[in-house]
Amino acid sequence: MSQLLISQPHDASVEAPNQVETTVSVGGMTCAACAARVEKVLRTVEGVTTVEVNYGTEQATVTHSAEAITFEQLQAAIIGVGYTALRPGEARQAQLEQKETEQQKELKVLAVKITVSGIVATLAMSLMFLPGLLPVRWQLVVLCLMVTPVQFWAGWQFHRKAFSALRHLSVDMNVLISIGTFSAYLYSLTITVMAFVYPSMSTQHNYYETSAMIITLILVGRYLEVKAKRATFDAITALIRLQPQTALLVREEEIVEVDVDQVQIGDTVMVRPGQRIPVDGLVTAGRSSIDESMVTGESIPVYKTVGDEVISGTVNGTGSLNFLVQKVGDETVLAQIIRLVESAQGSKAPIQTLADRVTSIFVPIVIGVSVLTFSCWFFLVGDPLANALTFFISVLIVACPCALGLATPTAVVAGVGRGAEQGILIKSAPILEVIHRIKTVVFDKTGTLTEGHPRVTDIATSNGHQENHLLLLAATLESKSEHPLAEAIIRACTDRDLQIEKVEITNFEAVVGFGVQGDLGGKWIRCGSRRLMEKEGIQLLGMDIDRETEYTKEGKTVIWVSVENQLAGLIAVADTIKPNATTALQKLRRMGLQTVMLTGDSAKTASIVAEQLSIDQAVAEVLPADKAQVIEDLQARGGMVAMVGDGINDAPALAQADVGIAVGTGTDVALETADIVLMKSDLAHVTTAIQLSRQTVNTIRWNLVWAFSYNLLGIPVAAGLFATLGVTLNPMLAAGAMACSSVLVVTNSLRLRNF
């Protein structure tokens, strides 16, 4: 649809100082004139500065005075000229409810059709076994009256799609179904009419029950297919419904409840205990635990404090939080997750594309084989018309590639949906078919295998000092420093709930290359390297030096602390390995995959981390721009490569790899560059993603094997090649076998929901 933008020129000179932007979803617009009409009426509302109506997206963006105009006034103006007006969130919800209603209606209609056609088919078969109940001719009339609604009402969707396909000079499974059922129905109808002209014709076998049963069984397969799609739609709907409709905006120390669409980047939002986070942001005040399970799959609530990120749709715990808004609308992590899942489930995998091509060739061949079968039995063998028609219909029905068409999409939908439930976002269906062939998994070190920021790992005290006291002394002095190690010490106090006292620090000095020192409440404190202690003549014991050596071997940085020229203790700081990294790498090795680590750190640090994690190969001192070259070199050696990174400085490598996997909460670069985004920080989900791919591909393969085998084995039997051995396939039995194969394929795919 073409896009029409109508806007009123923006005049900054007349703009009120407190302007806000409101988006309204407008329903009922059918042309550009409608958009112009909406734009005109909104422009007449007093206090409106600019108006932009997008006919393509059916939205109006209005800039207006925050005090003078409410959403209800804009809504009333639009409704007044004959259109509907909703908040974007409400409009999306209405669309969901409409789609959900349509699916429920489709399922109900299918259930009614299955019931009616099933009863008709059963009664039709019963009349076959009750001879003499009615005169034969009138029995044919009764069968015709019962089956006609089934043929034209219950089976209309197949006939309509078949006609559409033939009109576009293509064939699909609906063509086979339509030709097969109409052959049975029209042949039986001919016998019914001729029986009143030539009574002997009434003894000919009819296929009314076959037509009804074929449609019934195919409708059952269709019902299962819709149910499978409904399960995935429910998962997406559940995600969308996590988005709150309102937010508590902090304005000049006042709390104002506004529509979430009015929240803008840079605003401050308050979240009370038990409320959902309305938009993405950064905590500026307060502490709380947040349940992120609905977005990341992580069952344990995550503790949040100042500086931590919060995600829209997650549930706040017992504390109250203020946070700075960073993402709104379609840019939030939740919105991007929904888009990714919808996109992946709507994309076609290579195997599915292959199946579509095979189907387009297979269907004409089947029609040709069925015509050849009829010709051979009727013209060459000289069988009665009824027998020849039986073989003709049987071939059409048994060869119907419904199972072939369902083999891939049902597995992909189930696999992508199950991955999303576990916090594994797969951006496209082809990735599911690629990742299982990975031979090498490359990990970025900082932020992927490690926490990404230094943390205090060990505290060793001397001369009677206590751990917490030593930590507070160091944190208080380091609060004047901007060094990353200072942040680690201050963060350690926060983790231990230690409050840093506001003590005046005088004579503070940062000794370049050594550390910091200063007067803290009348006591001279030093924090720095051993060289600083030795330089100032502070006595170090052998046991202290031994501790430093031990920490250094583990790749840790040691900070020495002295009070009044006397050693107080040592604090070891390191970028610690994530708790789940070791287990994840062990699983990968058991799966037969090679592991490689990339880092910009020194060879010594890389060697220590690689040894702790038992990584096969470590490449150190690599700049972010050079990581892609390392990936390319690994690919040149043979085998497919997956790159696992945090999605920021690893973007080139993520793009170069055969499969890019971003670990974290879904940064912009990660979502743009990576093929798979792991919402959890648990590296074990790397193996889970690979196992899910293997399971999905295995399911698709077995679906295709069954579908192809069924058709290849069923066609010769249906064509009567084994008739001399007494082995034939009645059209009704052929329809049952075909429906069973479709049910088997769908059921096999749905097993992935339990992965």
**Packing angle between helix 402-421 and helix 684-718, nearest 10 degrees?**
170
CB 577 within 8 A of CB 598: no
Q: Are 403 and 703 in contact (CB under 8 A)?
A: yes
Collapsing DSSP states into helix, strand and coil, what is residue 474? helix
Q: Do 672 and 654 contact (CB within 8 A), yes or no?
A: no
**Number of neighbouring beta carbons within 10 Å of residue 447:** 20
CB 643 within 8 A of CB 659: yes
Where does residue 706 rank: exposed (0-12), middle (13-18), buried (19+ CB within 10 A)? middle
Burial class (CB in 10 A: 0-12, 13-18, 19+), 634: buried
**Distance of alpha carbon 746 from alpha carbon 703, whole angstroms:** 9
State phi, psi for 668 to the nearest 5 degrees.
-55, -45
Q: Are 397 and 735 in contact (CB under 8 A)?
A: yes
**In sequence order, which residues have a C-beta less than 8 Å from that of residue 30 and are 6 or more positions away?**
none
In the numeric block, the tokens 């840019």 are attached to 331
**d(C-alpha 697, C-alpha 607), whole Å:** 37
C-alpha distances out from residue 117 to 139, 192, 747, Å:
18, 20, 23
Q: Return the sign of the alpha-carbon dihedral for residues 564, 566, 569, 570.
A: positive
Burial track 21-37 (b if 16+ CB lie within 10 A, e otherwise): ebbbbbeebeeeebbeb
444 is catalytic: yes
- Amino acid in position 112: V
At 668, list the tokens. 């912009």
Residue 290 near residue 275 (C-beta atoms within 8 A): no
Distance between CA atoms of residues 432 and 327, nearest Å: 30
The answer to whether residues 479 and 577 touch, using CB atoms and an 8 Å cutoff, is no
Residue 286 sits at φ, ψ, to 5 deg, of 100, 170
Strand order of the β-sheet with 321-327 is: 254-259, 246-251, 268-271, 321-327, 280-285, 309-310
8 Å CB contact between 196 and 187: no
One of 267, 444, 601, 658 is an active-site residue; which one?
Answer: 444
**Chain center to CA of 250:** 33
Across the strands, what pairs with 660?
Answer: 643
Please tell me the distance from the alpha carbon of residue 366 to that of residue 59, in angstroms, as a whole number. Answer: 50
What Cα–Cα distance (Å) separates residue 253 from each residue in 269, 322, 414, 514?
A: 11, 12, 48, 44
- Of 183, 125, 121, residue with least CA distance to 154: 121
Tell me the backbone φ, ψ of residue 90, rounded to 5 degrees: -65, -40
Task: Please give the positions annotated as active site.
Answer: 444
